[in-house]
Amino acid sequence: MISSFYIAWRYLAFNKVRSATLVACITLIAFLPMALQLLLDESQQLLQSRATSTPLLLGARGSALDLVMNSLYFDEQVPDVFTMQAAEDIMQSDLAYAIPLYVRFHARNSVIVGTTLDYFDFRGLQIAQGRMFAVLGEAVIGADVAEDYGLHPGDAIVSSPETLFDLAGVYPLKMAITGVLQRNHTSDDLAVFVDLKTAWVIEGLGHGHKDLTSTDDASVIMTRTEDSVTANAKLFQYTEVTEDNIDSFHFHGDLSAYPITAVLAVPDDVKSATLLRGRYLENPRYHIVRPKDVIAGLLENIFRIKSVIDSVIAIVGLATVMAIILVFALSVRLRQRELSTIFRLGCSRMTTVNLIVAEITLIVIASSIISAGLLYLVDANADTLVRQLVLR
């Protein structure tokens, strides 16, 4: 049998293209469904663990899935914004404590999460290097952000402008990185965290500039009254918060009217949760969702789609196996002369069958090894792949 394998190996090595094609076909058919299952299992685990650990989520009425995906996994689809007043209402209800989230802006390719320090306690996030943000314009970054961009405490990261040509739009803000979070293998590793007020500064709702009451430059003044001074667009606004200019940063109007995208509501107990949910059942502006239920619905759909994909893969796999059988059957016919030669040299029919079986076995072994290697890679990087491919 060993000689059969040697001869089969020589045959396969000589017919490289044919052998490689067969190996590639079998590898794909074996690898695809298993890799898909691996990634789905990992997705399910990632989605469910995060969703299960988040009791309630308040958002503007609209897509519950968008709200959950944006608030828990920092998906780019931004739900409708609502005011900070909603978070204060929850706090005042004494049924839960509220963690506001404003997930809208980006720095490089990472999402900027505007929130409060409660978020870090709630998620159990620890600082690995440096310290937590303390003042306006400071940021802490997730482990993957630090690794991907080679950032450390003391470096800076600049928010991305929303639109390049909108002069009235969001200007970049250079933020000082004060800390790097410990890796916790969730979406938090991929985010840049700032205080809510910093997020509002990025949006332009808060800003810092020279004191208009004492400026000598008349060209920046549009109107001046006894009570107020209005500047024109020539007024230079700071794009970085520093020790020197931090006092000049200010917000106009009532902060409770400032925008957020979600509120993480952490009820005191089950009863409080039920009461809180009841209060928002008929609310025309807000809805409160249990992320666990939303993700369960999503997973149900994913697995329904997966079963369809499985069926397609099974059909394609069957077709491939039949094609491979056909290839071997035709190959036996094409190799009649060779088979006749080895028969004349003294090869029995059983040995001829052994040779063909050895060829098939080698191809299957090669495919299995490659599939196993690929699956090992997928398994080792499942967490990253899922976050890059599924939870983007």
- Contacting residues toward another protein, per CB under 8 A: 3-4, 6-7, 10-11, 13-15, 338, 341-348, 351, 355
What is the Cα–Cα distance from 377 to 305, expressed in whole angstroms?
A: 24
Residue 12 or 264 having the CB closest to another protein: 12
Task: Return the number of the residue (52 or 348) whose C-beta is nearest another protein.
Answer: 348
Give me the least distance between CB of 19 and another protein, in Å please: 11
Q: How far is the CB of 366 from another protein (least distance, A)?
A: 17
Least distance between another protein and beta carbon 51 (Å): 57
Report the residue number, 184 or 351, with the smaller CB distance to another protein. 351
Residue placing its CB nearer to another protein in the complex, 6 or 236: 6
The phi-psi region of residue 242 (left if phi > 0; otherwise alpha if psi is between -120 and 50; otherwise beta) is beta
- Shortest separation between residue 365's beta carbon and another protein, angstroms: 19
> What CA–CA distance (Å, rounded) separates 342 from 91?
87
Of 284 and 346, the one with the shorter C-beta distance to another protein is 346
Q: How far is the CB of 325 from another protein (least distance, A)?
A: 22
Query: Position 145: which residue type?
Result: V
Nearer to another protein, 14 or 165 (CB): 14
Shorter beta-carbon distance to another protein: residue 307 or 341: 341
Distance CA 189, CA 181 (A): 7
The nearest distance, CB 328 to another protein, in angstroms, is 16
Min. distance of Cβ 364 from another protein in angstroms? 20
Q: Would you call 187 exposed, middle or buried from its count of C-beta atoms within 10 A (0-12, 13-18, 19+)?
A: buried
Closest distance between another protein and the C-beta of residue 2, in Å?
A: 9
Q: CB-wise, 160 or 351, nearer to another protein?
A: 351
